[in-house]
Structure 1
Amino acid sequence: MTADATGSVLDDAWGHIPQTRETNADLGSFTRRRIERAITLAVAFGAVVLGTQAFLYSFRPPEEGPGWHLALVLGTFGPLALMLLACVIGRGVRFFSGLFALLYLGALLLWPLATEGGTVGPPTEQPWIWYLVNVGTVAAVLAFPFRVQLVWTALLPLVFGVVRLVQVDFARAFLQPVLLDVSFALILGFILLTLAWVFRSVSANVDETRARAVESYAAAAAAAATEQERVAVAALMHDSVLAALIAAERAHTDRERTLAAAMAREALTRLANTEQDPEEGPDEPRDASAIADEIEHVARELGVEIRAERTILGDSPSVPGRVARALTLATLQAITNSIEHADGEGLGVAVRAVTDPVRVRIEVRDTGRGFDLEEVPDDRLGIRASIIARVAAVGGTTRIASGEHGTTVRLEWREAEA
């Protein structure tokens, strides 16, 4: 199959999965993007709760020295507010989460210096900065790679424990409460980290499984399309060969024998090229005049002298090579049908082309006995496959008008508007 056909199959396969803004944005992260969004919103909710608690506790008599309290509060809650805003709107989450995680670690390291000479509360009462320890760990979950997340989840509680003990000169009364606080922060931090890792792993597996399913569907659809194409080609070959044999059997004059021989050569050529790409050959644009010349040439090979009427408006309107080939072959089939079934009475061809946008129309007319398209057997593919389907394959249209006064086959292709 061609690259365009394969892409069409993949588009059809992915079309069986519900499409939303997230799936259109990134084909391979259908579930992961939703899980990341859910984790982000959950972190924002928890950070609001803990951040509010810490902010309210910051209004109590500070343990920091003069000038330090306001600096630490602004340097901590400012980045936290930016992180929460980023989580809500879904933009800049990694950057602002990483910024808060780093600045909060800096605030912890400055805590002993900021509280030097200050008043220390009772051992069972934690300072306001303690309530942001796990906010810092989940910020790392949003911002950093998994290994850094592990380090950060263990680092922040341990750093808090050390700086808290340094603040109180390792007083024995503070040892047990600080160890309990550190243990609690470690347990909660690793639980949150594990949950995020599990959800992300599951979503990645779901996306991978979905991608494999889409690829399997695409492969099956491609195989089915290839098989259908082979069946259609086989039917077309059968139709062409049968038509050539019938023409040879009925040939009584030199003209009829020449036509039968040309039909046989065309059938053999198609049969030899069955396995080749139907769009092989250059796709360089060809103007309408060249198409008319080619029609006259192939008609002479059938033993018919035809002078194509040409109405070309504009500056040499051109069409892609594959379109020109399809129109020429479809016109050849229409001429063949006219010669075979209407003895070529009043046979004529007209080519009309205009520009801006480019439009090419070819008419094949005769004045012989017409036919009813609906009564043509389904196994006769000269009209349905060689004319209508061939033109439709390149984006063109076919109109056939037939009656007792003759038949007109109109082939038209127009350039898509930009």
Structure 2
Amino acid sequence: MTADRDRTVPQTAPVRIPQTREDVAQLGSFTRTRVERIIGIVIAVGCMALGAQGFVAALDASAELPGWHPALEFVVFIPLVLMLAACFAGRGQRVFSGLFVVAYTVGMILWPIAAAGLPAAPSAEPWMFYLINIGTAAAVIAFPLPGQIGVTIGIPLLWGVVRFAQAGWDVSFTVSVVLDVSFALIFGAIVLTLGALFRTAAVRVDRARANAVTSYAAAASIAATEQERVDVGALMHDSVLAALLAVDHADSPRERTLAVSMAREALTRLANAERDAGMGPEAPVSCASIAESIEVSAAELGHPLQVDHVHPRELRVPGVVARALALAATQAISNAIQHADAVGLRVGVTGYEDPDRVTVRVRDHGPGFDPGAVAPDRLGISASIVARMAAVGGRATITSGGTGTEVALEWMEGVVE
């Protein structure tokens, strides 16, 4: 019973702590996701201003450049517009930012060809230069850190080569080109560093958050286990001990009948002590969750298995019923492992509608046994299976013979036996 409590505390508190590894993964990226969104918007705002400046300069230069120059503008500015739209929308920003880096790099390579034959002056910057910082900033969104470093260094250096090539390798452009490259490198390094710092801080916050949730789950499990121990001790003292005293002092048939009733009630409460100790919310759960709980329990018993489950999509049962079904099935699996060596062990969960009904069947191909010959003091069947199901208004049917044993656990909405 203590092991059951340790295993299921996170599953019985879905509002407070994650239930699955997927939930923990989502929780662990909470801050990082928001930081990425902020970085995308901030870079988009800055790039929009730089892009507008570059676009105006490109329109002014169109009259002096060859006829295919507008096509070069489309190659560069269309990916830029797509990148800005993706950053503001928060969808596909990595893909379109990477597309702009590639398109801008291609545009820079083609620029000396487009500007061939035109007079160049060190103080007159081509429109392509106004987009250089957009290229390095886009790399911060699109690529991992090694790629960001490569683009932040590579694009400014490539611009220096392109600028010299356009000027016919005139040494008088040296100072201007060095200043341009230095400015682009410094600005790109600042953006890259800030992005890396914010992302690192976000990862650390998410890791601390996930660790805190994990610690809370462990603390909740320990607290529930201790509470269960206290409650079971009180139950043993109040209910079970009182029932035993009643049996010892029963002389008349009526007293014996009352003593048997008290003993049955005590065993039922003992079998469901974990519910009294903090069963968790009664929020409805799906049949798939029942099957998952049984699989986890079987794995912890040393016999991993695949639980077949067939059920209507919308069928959900109360949480306490699902818990009772899972615990009773776990006890049946434990019996099959202990007494039948888990030969042919199979478990299935089936759900029905109109009315809502759930059946869990645990089968094995062991030697079988006579359920009527089980000693009354053996609580593995009477308390952990039969009484547990009765406590939630369900029933347990055990069929055993030479070909194996089947334990059928059934619960139906609105039926209390």
Measured against the shorter chain, the TM-score band is 0.5 to 0.7
RMSD of aligned alpha carbons: 4.1
CA apart distance, 1:72: 1.3
* Distance change in 2, residues 1:164/1:68 (3 Å): farther
Matched, 1:39 2:39: yes
* Distance change in 2, residues 1:182/1:227 (3 Å): same
Cα distance per residue 1:364-396 (max 9 Å; x no partner): xxxxxxxxxxxxxxxxxxxxxxxxxx8998599
- Percent identity over the alignment is 51
Partner residue in 1 for 2:16: 12
Task: Supply the AA of the counterpart residue of 2:169.
Answer: F
TM-score (norm 1): 0.62
C-alpha separation in 1, matches of 2:163 and 2:123: 12
Partner residue in 2 for 1:81: 81
Match of 1:356 among 346, 354, 357: 354
Aligned positions of 1:11-410 closer than 5 A: 11-13=15-17, 26-62=26-62, 65-120=65-120, 122-248=121-247, 250-254=249-253, 256-257=255-256, 260=259, 322=324, 356-358=354-356, 394=392
C-alpha separation in 2, matches of 1:325 and 1:53: 69
Alpha-carbon contact 1:13-1:218 (below 8 Å) kept: yes
Task: Supply the AA of the counterpart residue of 2:178.
Answer: L
Q: SS state of the match for residue 12, structure 1?
A: coil
Partner residue in 2 for 1:375: none
* Distance change in 2, residues 1:2/1:56 (3 Å): same
Q: SS state of the match for residue 155, structure 1?
A: helix
CA apart distance, 1:267: 6.1
CA apart distance, 1:220: 0.6
C-alpha separation in 2, matches of 1:154 and 1:323: 62
* Distance change in 2, residues 1:33/1:268 (3 Å): closer
CA apart distance, 1:124: 1.2
Alpha-carbon contact 1:141-1:193 (below 8 Å) kept: yes
* Distance change in 2, residues 1:263/1:394 (3 Å): closer
Cα distance per residue 1:245-290 (max 9 Å; x no partner): 4313542225534764786698689879989xx99xxx9xxxxxxx
CA apart distance, 1:13: 3.4
Partner residue in 1 for 2:373: none
> Structure 2, unaligned stretches of length 5 or more?
280-286, 288-320, 329-351, 359-387, 395-410
C-alpha separation in 1, matches of 2:250 and 2:86: 82
CA apart distance, 1:320: 7.7
C-alpha separation in 1, matches of 2:139 and 2:391: 55
Alpha-carbon contact 2:357-2:413 (below 8 Å) kept: yes
Alpha-carbon contact 2:62-2:70 (below 8 Å) kept: no
C-alpha separation in 2, matches of 1:7 and 1:322: 13
Q: SS state of the match for residue 26, structure 1?
A: helix
Matched length: 299
Q: SS state of the match for residue 117, structure 1?
A: coil
Cα distance per residue 1:161-187 (max 9 Å; x no partner): 001001111212211011000000000
CA apart distance, 1:237: 1.6
Alpha-carbon contact 1:40-1:142 (below 8 Å) kept: yes
Cα distance per residue 1:294-316 (max 9 Å; x no partner): xxxxxxxxxxxxxxxxxxxxxxx
Q: SS state of the match for residue 122, structure 2?
A: coil
Q: SS state of the match for residue 251, structure 2?
A: coil
> Structure 1, unaligned stretches of length 5 or more?
16-22, 284-318, 327-353, 361-389, 397-411
Alpha-carbon contact 1:10-1:218 (below 8 Å) kept: no
Cα distance per residue 1:89-128 (max 9 Å; x no partner): 11111111100000100111111122222232x2112100
C-alpha separation in 2, matches of 1:77 and 1:265: 81
Q: Quick check: 238-247 or 61-70, which moved more? A: 61-70
TM-score (norm 2): 0.62
Alpha-carbon contact 1:63-1:119 (below 8 Å) kept: no
> Which of these two proteins has the greater Rg computed from alpha carbons?
1
Partner residue in 2 for 1:371: none
